[in-house]
Every structure is written in C-alpha cells, then in structure tokens.
Structure 1
Amino acid sequence: MASNINTIYNIQGAKAALQEEQKWADDDKEYLHSVIKMPSGWENTYTLMHHANPASWRLVKQKKEDDEAEEAEEVIFTLQGVVDGKNLPPILEDPKVPRNKAHFLQQSITLSGLKTTTFEETLTALQEMYTVISRQFPEGRLLPWQPGPTVLGEGGSITLSNRYFTKRSEGQQMQSTPFSTNIDPKKILTRMLTSSLIHTEENEVQYFMRQADLARNFKYSTGNPQNFRIGDIVEVQFSLVVYHMRTEHYILKPMLYSIALLEGKFGNELAKQQLSTTPLAAPTRTLKRKIGYMVTEDENRMRQGEDRPQQKKNKSSVDGDMVSFESTSNGVAKMSLD
C-alpha cells in the first residue's frame, strides 16, 4: 500500500512546502525539535508534575523562585507535518465496543515529516525526553516510546491522540461538556455517556483552517474534522502525558489538543490520483423497472399519431394507460406503454 501511494503522491513538492512551513517559527510557541538545543538543558526548563484531574503526570514549565503562588503551566508543543494516517470524527456508526471498554475510544492523527531535518529532530528529542522521564518511575515500568512507520515518503512518524471519555473516578472535580455536532452528529457518543464516563474539556480536540496572503499574514477559522485528508500539511498542538496503566506499567502519550490545516493541495492531488487509478467496476446485468403516471387515451393517440374513434367504456374501466420506462444499466431509459 505504501509503495503504491508513494508512486502517486507528490513527495518532493510536499516536502518543499513542509520545509517552508518549518522556517516560520512563532516565538509564542514551543517546538519540540528545539528542546535538545536548549543551552541550559530542557530539564532546567520543564519538569514532570503529578496532576490529579485526570490522574496523570504532565510536563510543566519550571516555576521561578518568586512565582510560588502562580499556577503551574502545562507545556504545549507545536509540530508541523504531513497527515500519514488518521482516525478522526465525525462518528457516524456505532463503534460496537463493550461498555466497559468505551473509555478507550479515541480520535487520532499520525504525522510524517518526509525525512525533513526539523521533523527528524523532533523524533530524536522525543526519544531523549522519554529517557529522562523514565527515570521518574521504577526502572522498566515506563513502556518504551519509538517513532512509528510511515505510509508517505521515508523517515519516522508520530501518532497523537485524545480519548473521547474520561473515567469519572479519574476526573472527580471535572465538569462534563456536551459533544459538538461536528464530532457526534448522530448522538452516538452522547448515548454512551454513563454515570462512570464523562466528556470534558480535556477530551476535546479543536480543529482550524488557515488562510494566508502572499505576505504570509495568517488568519484562522474554526474547522471541521472531516475536512482533513491523507497528504495534507497540518500543524498540531499537543502535550506529553504519562498515564498509569491497570498493570504495573506506565505509558507516555502525546496528547492531541488541536489540528490546523495549513495546505490541502497535496492531499487533494493525492485523492485525484487515487481516483484516476481506481479500476472501473464491471458492468452489471440490466434491471427492469416500471415507473410512470396514468395518461388519458387522447394523449396516447397524440403520442402515437393515431386518430382512433372513441370507444365506449364500462364504468369500471380506467380512462387511461400507464406510461412506463425500462431502465437499463447503461443509464438509458426505454419508454413503453402498458
């Protein structure tokens, strides 16, 4: 599958566009690839802190000595990449999972970097951060984190996700919020809410669309999750969270909070190429179908060019005939009179 997509996806064009996006760093954003380049070391800038609601460990910014009263701020990282895979809403079909497994349902997106330097440095930074974070737990208890495989191009990938539900026991002080219609238009997830499951702000992923002029002045608008396609260039915001599993192990998870569509051209081109290479379906047998309306005999004679004398009819007879059409598989309708 990967090799087939790679033959029709514009890898070089998308890579050049992605590299251009990576040049425009925002001073207000945290970029994971720059972590390993911090002069004083990222350990002196960030710290891992236990968070009660929901129960987890979060990477937060180190407080200054005179900021003891200030609330800790979670570190939100920004990353640009190409959509390599996705499992995004809207939810249109019942996922058919046991009620006791419903809290595992999640939306996710997998990004690849087409072997760009910035993206590969991000993956390296994540591995180094994992090594340091693992020291906060008993040896061997934090499950290993490794980059994933890619479908588009070469290099590694990263999957970011967020669950639709939080266990009430893990978020006792959190408020439940309704699902948006973009996420749950058929109320499937809403009906899955129980006394033990809630949907909170922590579970929400925001979607955006970016518009830019020639001077790269950007404007963002609210997007729809169904707008995203494989091959699109996007920007995601996420945090690094550690959860305690039901076993004795822990897991490091890139927690997804937002996705912004930066460039949809390459995703559109890929979709067109896939459509053009899809073989046509074999012709099917002709289906007969009678449709039409009752028409009068005078109209029938006019259609047939006849001048038949009117015949006397019984009261029980119908003053008209049925015009019907026989539909064929090639889309041509043959008209007949019954």
Structure 2
Amino acid sequence: MIRTVWRTGGVTIYRRYIDLHVQGAALDHLIRLKTGHTSGAGNPSVQYLKNFSVIYALSINFSDLLLHEQADSAVVQEVNVHGRKCWRLGAMDEAGIVEHEISFRVHGILSKVDLVPGNIARLRVTNLCQRVELTGLGSESFLQSINKVLVVQDAFRRFFAGQRVSSWNFADEDGHSRFNCTCLYLTKTDGRAAEEVPFGPGVDPLGQLAKFRTSDLVHTAENDMKYFRLAKPEQDSAQPRETFYEAFPASFRKGDIVEVEGTVVAFFSKNGMVKTIFQMNVVTLLDATFSKVRLVFTAFS
C-alpha cells in the first residue's frame, strides 16, 4: 500500500519539513539512545553519527498539530465508544454542527517504543497498550508544540469547569521534555455489541493477544493502529513525490525519527478525576538513519 498524502480530520495535508541541526549534548543523548554508550574517542558509532550534520523532520509547527482553519471552531464533544463516554475535540461548521473529529500530528525522536506485546498476564491485558515516547532533544519547535498542547488541555479544563482535570505529564529526563502517546490493544465492552477488526500484520506475532479476546474484550477500529515508512525519492527520480509504504510495528526503534498522528481524549478515571491522553492511531517512520548506528557499533565492539 502506498500513501502519498495524509488525510487528517477530513482535510488533505501535504507534508512540510524544516531541517534542524542537532549538536553537542543533544547528539550525545541520541547516541546513548541508540548504542547505550556515551561518546568517546575512537568510538566508531559516534564518528558515524557525527558525519550527519542535519537530522530531518524535527519541525513541529502547530499548524501541523491543529489545523489553523479548525482552531477557532474547535469544540469539546461527547463521544460514546461502545457504551463508554469520552470527550474529544471536534471541528464545527458555520451552522454550529460538529463536522468531524480533529486529529493532531507531531514529529519527534523515539526515546521509548513499545509496539509489540511480550509475555502478557491476564490481569494486565485490559490496560495493555501500545506506547511511544517522543523527544525533541532540545528542539525549540518541539518545546513550543508542548506549550500548544497545554492550550488544548485548557479547552478541556474550561469544558469541565469545577471538575478536577489531571495535568499532562511531560516527562523531563536529561533536560529534555518527552511526549507520551498510547493506544489500547483491546477494548472492554461490558457485553455491548462491538464490531471486531483483525489485528494488523506484525501486531500480535506470537498470538499473545488473540488468546485473551472474548465477547467482552475485543479489538475494534478504536484499537487499530496503522504503521508506515517514508520513502524519499532519489535525485532526478521519475517519481518526485515522497511516498509512504506499510510497515511492521517491530520496524520502529529508539532513535528513529517519526511522525505520530492521533486525537486528544478525555475521560473520567476511577477516582473521579478527568484524565486527558493522546491516543495515537498512526505512526510513520521518517528516518531510520540511527537504527543503522546500532549495527555499526556492534560491528566495531
């Protein structure tokens, strides 16, 4: 399957890139993500990395996260998902009717990635989710986007005035902010009818999830993640446009540059607090240059 454009919130988007130079401590941090080692004289993986003066696609203009033409008309709307209430942002037309749900996109470097299940305990399966953590390694645009995400959370605070709304946790490690994105593998239906969809290729390679599926615990469209990888055209190529091919979840590794698409969801937790999360539904591999560093490091170790 080839994906040449994105469709987000019913609007076709052509991607834009801004090159970003990552140097010094940020580059050393990226090396640690990929090799588990700090930089040092004679370390071949470090020299290999430092030959790359530019790291692609760490631009996170908020126009990519929340489309400008939708920002002024964004409203919090109640959504019923298999009998369970949650709230999401929708775009409203001139007549005051919510047309569609607003999707968000963010670029960053994978600092943590968990997209394939390992050994699963039955007690954990209802809350088991695919998860990625993004960092900008000090990128100013990444930090600006985090501030913009807080603006989105304020929309929910105004909607749930008088209720306790949990603050978004942007983990800060080694001086760099992180952004967490999740998606449940299975949905609990409590006996309500729900249309099941099959697991995508590579999502459940060992059949760990399939054995826990029941009439009350199903894999629905809400849980269905899509994975793509970017193929950039060669110089003087007959096909000048970038294309996107389907990928396997195991293809994504720490240090990869990715784009994550998803929605902001609010719901009441067991303690009565309103919790907001970023529920992802698409992950695209933009640049796997640093996945190759692990191979280089191993070869010289």
TM-score by length of 1: 0.67
> Cα 1:178–1:41, aligned 2, differ >3 Å: closer, same or farther?
closer
Question: Identity of aligned pairs, percent?
Answer: 19
Does 1:184 pair with 2:204? yes
SS of equivalent to 1:72: strand
Partner of 1:197 in structure 2?
217
Residues in 1 aligned to 2:200 and 2:139: alpha-carbon distance in whole angstroms? 35
Q: Does structure 1 residue 108 correspond to structure 2 residue 96?
A: no
Distance (whole Å) between structure 1 residues aligned to residue 194 and residue 52 of structure 2:
41
Contact 1:75 1:239 in 2 (8 A): yes
Does the residue aligned with 1:177 lie in a helix, a strand or coil? coil
Q: Secondary structure at the match of 1:243?
A: strand
Distance 2:76 2:53 in 1: 34
- Give, in angstroms, the shift of residue 157 of structure 1: 1.0
- Inter-partner Cα distance in structure 1 for 2:87 and 2:299: 45
Verify: 1:60 aligned to 2:90, yes or no: yes
Distance 1:195 1:95, change over 3 A: same
For structure 1, the residue ranges without an aligned partner over 5 or more in a row are 278-338
Range 189-198 or range 1-10, more displaced: 1-10
Matched, 1:31 2:64: yes
C-alpha contact 1:22 1:118 (8 A) present in aligned 2: yes
The one-letter code sitting in structure 2 at the alignment partner of 1:61 is: A
- 2:120 is aligned, of 95, 98, 101, to 95
Residue in 1 that maps onto 2:3: none
Cα distance in 2 for partners of 1:223, 1:30 equals 26
Residue aligned with 2:215, SS: coil
**Contact 1:165 1:200 (8 Å CA) reproduced:** yes
- Counterpart in 2 of 1:130? 153
1:163 maps to which of 184, 199, 220: 184
Measured against aligned partners, the alpha-carbon deviations of 1:33-69 in whole angstroms (never above 9, x if no partner) come to x67xx6x993x3211100012421011112221x74x
Distance 1:250 1:149, change over 3 A: same
Amino acid at match of 1:95: I
For residues 209 and 129 of structure 1, the distance between their equivalents in structure 2, rounded to whole angstroms, comes to 28
CA distance in structure 2 between the partners assigned to 1:259 and 1:12 by the alignment: 27
Alignment check: 8 A CA contact 1:30 1:77 kept: no
Structure 2 Cα separation of the partners of residues 260 and 3 of structure 1: 19
**1:105-128 deviation line (CA, Å, top 9, x unaligned):** 000111101211221111111122
Aligned-partner Cα distance in 2 for 1:270–1:168? 42
Q: How far apart are 1:270 and its partner, in Å?
A: 4.3
In 2, Cα distance between equivalents of 1:122 and 1:3: 20
Alignment partners' CA distance in 1, 2:53 and 2:224: 30
Decide which structure has greater strand share: 2
1:272 aligns with 2:281: no
- Tell me which residue corresponds to 2:247: 223
Q: Quote the Cα distance in structure 2 between the aligned partners of 1:102 and 1:141.
A: 28
Q: Which has the larger radius of gyration?
A: 1
Count of matched residue pairs? 257
Task: Identify unmatched segments of 5+ residues in structure 2.
Answer: 1-27, 40-44
Aligned partner (choices 57, 75, 80) of residue 102 of structure 2:
75
Amino acid at match of 1:57: W
Judge conservation of contact 1:231–1:270 (CA < 8 Å) in 2: no
Q: Give the letter aligned to residue 210 of structure 1.
A: L
CA deviation vs aligned residue, 1:61-119 (integer Å, no higher than 9, x gap): 12221x74xx6311111111111101111x3x431231xx4210000111101211221
Q: Comparing 130-139 with 103-112, which one deviates more in the overlay?
A: 130-139
**Conserved? CA contact 1:162–1:203, under 8 Å:** yes
Note if contact 2:108-2:135 (Cα within 8 Å) is conserved in structure 1. Answer: yes
Q: Is the 8 A contact 1:30 1:78 kept in 2?
A: no
- Supply the distance in 1 between the matched residues of 2:102 and 2:53 (Cα, whole angstroms): 28
Aligned partner of residue 148 in structure 2, secondary structure: helix
TM-score (norm 2): 0.75
Change (3 A) 1:4 1:226: closer
Aligned to 1:307: none
Whether the 8 Å CA contact 2:58–2:136 is kept in 1: the answer is no
Q: What's 1:22 paired with?
A: 59
CA offset at residue 252 of structure 1?
A: 0.5
The offset of 1:155, in angstroms, is 2.4
Deviations, residues 127-184 of structure 1 (Å, cap 9, x unaligned) = 2221231122253521111311246xx42110101001111139x4531112234111
Equivalent residue in structure 2 for 1:142, among 161, 165, 170? 165
Residues 1:274 and 1:82: Cα distance change in structure 2 (over 3 Å): farther
Retained in 2: the 8 A contact 1:103–1:165?
yes
Distance 1:168 1:270, change over 3 A: same
Alignment-mate amino acid for residue 158 of structure 1: F
Q: Is the 8 A contact 1:30 1:76 kept in 2?
A: no
| Aligned counterparts of 1:143 and 1:178: Cα–Cα separation in 2 | 33
Amino acid at match of 1:16: V
